[in-house]
Structure 1
Amino acid sequence: MKIAVIGGGPAGLYFSMLMKQRHPGDEIVVHERNAAGATYGWGVVFSDVALSFLKEADEPFFRKFTAHHERCDFMEIVHRGVPVRLSNNHFSRTSRIDLLNVLQEACRETGVDVRYNSCVSDPAALKDFDVIVAADGVNSEVRTRLAGHFQPTFDERRNKFAWYGTSRLFHPVSLIFRDTSQGVFIAHAYQYSKTHSTFLVEVDPQTWRRCGLDTATEDESRAFCESVFAEDLQGEPLLTNRSQWFQAKVVSNSRWSHGNVVLLGDALRSVHFSLGSGTRMAMQDAIALSDALSMHRNDIAAAFSAFEASRKDASDRFQDAARKSLDWYESVDTRMNLDPVSFAYDYMRRTGRVSHEDLRKRDPAFIQQVEAAAMRRVQLAHA
């Protein structure tokens, strides 16, 4: 089988590695528009649950993949300057460049032909291939070119985001909420290496404009955000790497394939980073697609149907959770009056997928705090 993959991100590389391992005689070519080693952004975070699928799929690769990850078994919600610990929330973090390096090395070892600085956006240019995998990201050019067939929908959300890094090490995954005179600012922070953390800043569009961030340069925005979170950064700077403001876009597609072309990863479906599941979903898609193509070697249409059938329910569930999570963040100003413990509890329940009893099993000490706070409110109401 001859397979062309457009896009050298986690989805495209992991799929290519799996297919080449299972079928060494297949010709697999990855076309990546950027140079080798080029990447933007900072770190990537996985929950332990999210990593379990990798171990099941290929344990030797899993060990390589996680060898240099930073790990922590709790997270923190910081509200009114008070950190609330949420135990038994296990996270594993790594830099995006290290993640790609591990995948690139695995592809080289298995014999995948990865071609850098190779920009392909038209599947018609790859007519000699049996299968074309469009793994070219949330702004997929292949999907745009074939939009009439894939029928994509886009839900662009209102909040503004900017990705920064920092040398301040946030050992737990930390969500920080700062209520300023101009409005609420949110930081999503986590250590991903021995020396750096990701620091993603989120703000509603009205506050963003009031603060002049709509006209600020990249460095002016960085300096402003550094001042908002000065207490949290403890004197360490924010660092930029194409840290432009953007809005979250939830992408879905009515059809996942057309002819011999199939979408994969963010080209197929985006999951908001507040759930920490985008890379996980992309790599699970890669496993499912390689399974389907291995099962239906002589029937590409059947393989694509099997791929969609195996992943559509999970995709829909995660996108529903992502929208609920986005709704929570976009209305957080209505919750800032809550005490820190009740605020953290409200956050943990935001998607409707985690119950009170789920939280009790995971962190009984936290639920004791929640119930004590609720009792205090009742007592004050009847005082």
Structure 2
Amino acid sequence: MKVACVGGGPAGLYLSILLKLRDPSHEITVHERDPEGSTYGWGVTYWRALLDKLHEHDPESARALDAHSVRWNEGTARVRDLVTRKPGDEGFGIGRHRLLEILADRARALGVRLEFEDEIGPDALPDADLVVAGDGVHSALRGRWAEHFGTEVTAGRNPYVWLGTTRVFDAFTFAFVESDHGWIWCYGYPFDAGRSTVVVECPPATRDGLGLDTMSEADGLAVLEKLFADVLDGHPLMGRSDGAGSTSWLTFRTVTNRTWHHGNLVLLGDAAHTTHYSIGAGTTLALEDAIALADALGAHASLPDALDRYERERKGALLTAQSAARHSAQWYENLTRYIDLPPERMFALLGQRHSPLLPYVPPQLYYRLDRAAGRLDSLRRLKRWLGPRLARAAHARELSTRD
């Protein structure tokens, strides 16, 4: 099979690795529009379950990923001057640049052809049996056939900005600060021995009231450093530019598609779907897409059958993550509902923000029920039974509203 992967992100690179491992005779080219070594963002997160899955499919790249990641097993939250800490699942952070370097080196070693500074437009697709659109949330290939794919893009409410810092956190860290213009918060995690990622988020009125929407990047970083001085412990924040331009405040875009393939063109990763950053699953879901697509291509001689299986499997697998992401984003958008709880209770509900039950139950009552559910099997079963049903009902209401 001749395969062209458009986009040199984690999903496209990992797919090329898996296909070469299955059949070295595949002719695979990854086309990336940017120069090699240039990428956006700071570090990405993933969790133990993904690492175990990567070890199953390609132990060599999984070992390299593990060796270059930092890990934590606690979370800490700071609300005003109050701090609480608790154990959590084992998490991992790795620099996006390092992740791409590991996957690119592995792909090359297996015989994949990597073409950098090679932009593929929708009107000149490569001559290949399969063209994979892994070109991200703003996918030009998806955009060309958006009507066929049934693409819908929904903008979130809260602006956010992706930053770095030389403060190396020893846990997944949350900090909530009440400014003169409302609440602003950040979450941070380490990704190498000397740096951490910091995502800052707030309501639009807070950003605009603080003047962050119009300040230069340097001035904006100075304001944020002052607001988060306690959690940064004297360390600076770092942006993406030289500081002269404005800070790149973004609004998260949720992308969905009715179908994921068109002829021999198939969507992968953020081109097919996006999941709110607050659940830390974007890289994981992209790599799982690659695994599912490679498995489907290996199981079916017919390309349409393989692409149908891939789409069906991944859409089903994404339901839980997409529900969790939707409720997580809504938790932050309704922060004032929870922020005045005692810090240990607020942190407990922060950990439960994925729950479809939480928006419908008074926070104090939910906290008590959740504590009880941890002790009583009957309540725990009820919670497991209700959760998916409420998630499906919410999804159905969302679809009917769109229609």
- Return the TM-score normalized by structure 1: 0.90
Q: Does 1:288 align with 2:292?
A: yes
Match of 1:133 in 2: 132
Distance in 2 (CA, whole Å) between partners of 1:353 and 1:94 is 30
CA contact (8 A) 1:32 1:119 kept: yes
- State how 1:4-15 maps to structure 2 within 5 Å: 4-15=4-15
Match of 2:210 in 1: 211
Q: Which amino acid aligns with 1:49?
A: A
Distance in 2 (CA, whole Å) between partners of 1:123 and 1:345 is 51
SS in 2 for 1:249: strand
CA contact (8 A) 2:163 2:199 kept: yes
Comparing 147-156 with 281-290, greater Cα deviation is found at 147-156
SS in 2 for 1:136: coil
Equivalent residue pairs, number:
359
CA contact (8 A) 1:94 1:193 kept: yes
- State how 1:56-71 maps to structure 2 within 5 Å: 56-71=56-71
CA deviation after TM superposition for structure 1 residue 190, in Å: 0.8
Comparing 339-348 with 58-67, greater Cα deviation is found at 58-67
SS in 1 for 2:25: coil
CA deviation after TM superposition for structure 1 residue 59, in Å: 2.2
Distance in 1 (CA, whole Å) between partners of 2:102 and 2:372 is 35
Match of 1:249 in 2: 253
CA contact (8 A) 1:123 1:132 kept: no
Match of 1:274 in 2: 278
Match of 1:366 in 2: none
SS in 2 for 1:102: helix
Match of 1:201 in 2: 200
Match of 1:356 in 2: 370
Distance in 1 (CA, whole Å) between partners of 2:119 and 2:332 is 36
Match of 1:262 in 2: 266
Q: Which amino acid aligns with 2:327?
A: K
Note the alpha carbon deviations across 1:44-64, whole angstroms, 9 max, x for none.
Answer: 111212322212222232111
CA deviation after TM superposition for structure 1 residue 24, in Å: 0.6
Q: Does 1:112 align with 2:112?
A: yes
Match of 1:304 in 2: 307
Match of 1:122 in 2: 122
Q: Does 1:318 align with 2:318?
A: no
Match of 2:223 in 1: 224
Query: Unaligned 5+ residue runs, structure 2?
Result: 242-246, 358-368, 376-403
Distance in 2 (CA, whole Å) between partners of 1:133 and 1:359 is 45
Distance in 2 (CA, whole Å) between partners of 1:105 and 1:333 is 47
Match of 1:329 in 2: 332
CA deviation after TM superposition for structure 1 residue 113, in Å: 0.5
Note the alpha carbon deviations across 1:211-238, whole angstroms, 9 max, x for none.
Answer: 1112111222111111110111111111
Distance in 1 (CA, whole Å) between partners of 2:349 and 2:209 is 28
Q: Percent same amino acid at aligned positions?
A: 37
Note the alpha carbon deviations across 1:132-158, whole angstroms, 9 max, x for none.
Answer: 000000111111111011111111101
> Residues 207 and 88 from structure 1, CA distance in 2 versus in 1: closer, same or farther, beyond 3 angstroms?
closer
SS in 2 for 1:351: coil
SS in 2 for 1:125: coil
Note the alpha carbon deviations across 1:282-327, whole angstroms, 9 max, x for none.
Answer: 0000000011111123x11000011012211111221121111000
SS in 1 for 2:125: helix
Q: Does 1:22 align with 2:26?
A: no
Match of 2:380 in 1: none
CA contact (8 A) 2:327 2:356 kept: no
CA contact (8 A) 2:32 2:117 kept: yes
CA contact (8 A) 1:17 1:107 kept: yes
Note the alpha carbon deviations across 1:105-136, whole angstroms, 9 max, x for none.
Answer: 0111001001000000216432x211000000
Distance in 1 (CA, whole Å) between partners of 2:79 and 2:51 is 29
Distance in 1 (CA, whole Å) between partners of 2:289 and 2:372 is 27
Note the alpha carbon deviations across 1:67-106, whole angstroms, 9 max, x for none.
Answer: 1111111111222332222213211111110000000001
Q: Which amino acid aligns with 1:28?
A: I
CA deviation after TM superposition for structure 1 residue 17, in Å: 0.8
Distance in 2 (CA, whole Å) between partners of 1:194 and 1:187 is 20
CA contact (8 A) 2:18 2:57 kept: no
- State how 1:82-121 maps to structure 2 within 5 Å: 82-121=82-121
Q: Which amino acid aligns with 1:143?
A: R
Match of 1:170 in 2: 169
Match of 1:181 in 2: 180
Distance in 1 (CA, whole Å) between partners of 2:95 and 2:113 is 24
Structure scoring higher RCO (CA < 8 A, sep ≥ 6) equals 1
Match of 2:40 in 1: 40
CA contact (8 A) 2:270 2:286 kept: yes
Match of 2:345 in 1: 342
Q: Which amino acid aligns with 1:89?
A: D
CA contact (8 A) 1:269 1:315 kept: no
Distance in 2 (CA, whole Å) between partners of 1:306 and 1:101 is 30
- Return the TM-score normalized by structure 2: 0.86
Q: Which amino acid aligns with 1:146?
A: W
